[in-house]
Structure 1
Amino acid sequence: MYFRMLFNEAGCTTSYLLADMQSGEAVLIDPRSTDIPVFNAILNEHRLRLKWVLRTHEHDLLIPGESEALDALNAPRIQHQIPEYMGGRILLGNEHLQIIATPGHTENCLSFLWQDRFFCGDLLNVDACPYQPRPALPEALWDSVTRKVFTLPVETLLFSSHAYQARSVSNVLEQRRWHPWFADASRDDFLSRLLPPSTSL
């Protein structure tokens, strides 16, 4: 299996490429339009066929031309919802990724689990709350992090879409113990930081 992480200094964004070298099939996770030339070069160098574009979330309305630029990759996208016909699994040669609905940062966030690596986009950034001033669904965000991320094996590696303070990768144990928004916090504590008191549940 081939794994490549691409970090963009301009926006502190991180994208990922996974490929099964035997079958020559590859997926991209959260590619940005500015990174497409680099990814195309990697795919050509290793003679890989892009099978899927996986997006944990998107802010295309805030980035003019982003969606159209990704269309140029000529690969179907999985975003917003889990395709029923796939049964929650993406086949990649002899490997597979599990698709997990993790709403919160945006209404229809998805995360992708491959072996011991969990790609969660902006759902849970290392040492920070999600990358936007106010998550779309704070209650769902709490549930997604505490019931889906934090229940994974403690050694599971967490890969987000933004890297700050030189931190790109963490693990479940570290974030359960030390995350400034979730560790040692109750649901009410978390929501009180994000919601006006009258709407907190």
Structure 2
Amino acid sequence: MIFHQFFEKESSTYTYLIASEQTHEAVLIDPVASEIESYAEKLNEHNLTLVYSLDTHVHADHVTAANLLREKFGCKTVLHRHSGVACGDIFITDRSAIRVGEILIEARYTPGHTNACTSYVVDDMIFTGDALLIDGCGRTDFQEGSAETLYDSIHQQIFTLADETIVYPGHDYKGRLSSTVGHERLHNARLGQGKSKQDFVQFMTNLDLPYPKKIDIALPANKACGQA
């Protein structure tokens, strides 16, 4: 498997390239519109054909590259069916699977940060978007967010995986690249050490976070697959 982790500095967003060494077919998870040339260079470097663009949710902090990639490479745009995005090509549900050569990508529905959050499991890796972050999680006060739902999603869909499963988040603000399910289950400041749902909900309710800086630009654009 060919794998590469990209980082977009302004929103601290990670984008992931996964590709088959057998068929040279590739997918991008959570691509950012401003970084499309970096993706094109990496695809060309490995002689890859981009077949799918996967968004873990409708982002509020950056504009997705989904439509630009579809125009440039002819790939399919993949989103959860609850995303409210009409311009997608493929709408997935919990435990839907996408195959790229020898690679199976399993969707796990992990709502709570938004109503359409989806994590993707590939072998011993899980790409969690904003549902589970390293030592944290996504906020739950916008886009039909729910702390109760997020708690259940993480415990039922992510923390049930093997301890050694590598967690690749949608963002990190401290330069960390990955974690593991076992580490987050034990040490995550918001969810670790068996914290109760009541404790988690109270913690999330009291965060008092500022209004998202780019939501008024990013959200309408991303509901149109990244078109202005």
Instruction: Assess same fold via TM > 0.5.
Output: yes
- CA-CA distance at 1:64 after TM superposition: 6.3
In structure 2, distance between residues paired with 1:151 and 1:65? 30
- CA-CA distance at 1:72 after TM superposition: 2.8
1:56 corresponding residue in structure 2: 56
- The residue type paired with residue 93 of structure 1 is G
2:146 corresponds to 1:137: yes
- CA-CA distance at 1:67 after TM superposition: 5.5
- CA-CA distance at 1:66 after TM superposition: 5.5
Query: Which is worse superposed, 98-107 or 133-142?
Result: 133-142
- CA-CA distance at 1:70 after TM superposition: 4.4
Deviations 1:140-195 (A, max 9, x none): 10001111111100000000111121212000111011101001310111111234
2:68 corresponding residue in structure 1: 69
In structure 2, distance between residues paired with 1:123 and 1:34? 23
2:202 corresponding residue in structure 1: 192
In structure 2, distance between residues paired with 1:67 and 1:54? 8
1:199 corresponding residue in structure 2: none
Taking CA–CA contacts closer than 8 Å with sequence separation of 6 or more, which of the two structures ends up with the larger relative contact order?
2
In structure 2, distance between residues paired with 1:10 and 1:93? 33
Query: Which is worse superposed, 135-144 or 102-111?
Result: 135-144
In structure 1, distance between residues paired with 2:65 and 2:101? 28
In structure 2, distance between residues paired with 1:75 and 1:179? 36
- CA-CA distance at 1:78 after TM superposition: 1.3
2:21 corresponding residue in structure 1: 21
In structure 1, distance between residues paired with 2:92 and 2:119? 13
Q: Give me the identity figure in percent.
A: 32
Instruction: Trace 1:160-175 onto structure 2 (pairs within 5 A).
Output: 160-175=169-184
2:47 corresponds to 1:40: no
1:127 corresponding residue in structure 2: 135
State the TM-score, normalized to the length of structure 2: 0.77
**Aligned with 2:104 (options 89, 96, 100):** 96
- CA-CA distance at 1:16 after TM superposition: 0.4
Structure 2 residue runs of 5 or longer lacking an equivalent are 82-90, 207-228
Root-mean-square deviation (CA, aligned residues, Å) is 2.2
**Paired residue secondary structure (2:133):** coil
- Number of aligned residue pairs: give it: 193
Instruction: Trace 1:74-85 onto structure 2 (pairs within 5 A).
Output: 74-81=74-81, 83=92
Change (3 A) 1:70 1:50: closer
Deviations 1:12-71 (A, max 9, x none): 1110000002201000000100111111111122221111111101226x6568654344
Change (3 A) 1:65 1:9: closer
2:158 corresponds to 1:152: no
**Paired residue secondary structure (1:27):** strand
Deviations 1:85-138 (A, max 9, x none): x971111102211111111111011111000000010101112231x4636121
Change (3 A) 1:166 1:83: closer
1:179 corresponding residue in structure 2: 188
In structure 1, distance between residues paired with 2:173 and 2:64? 26
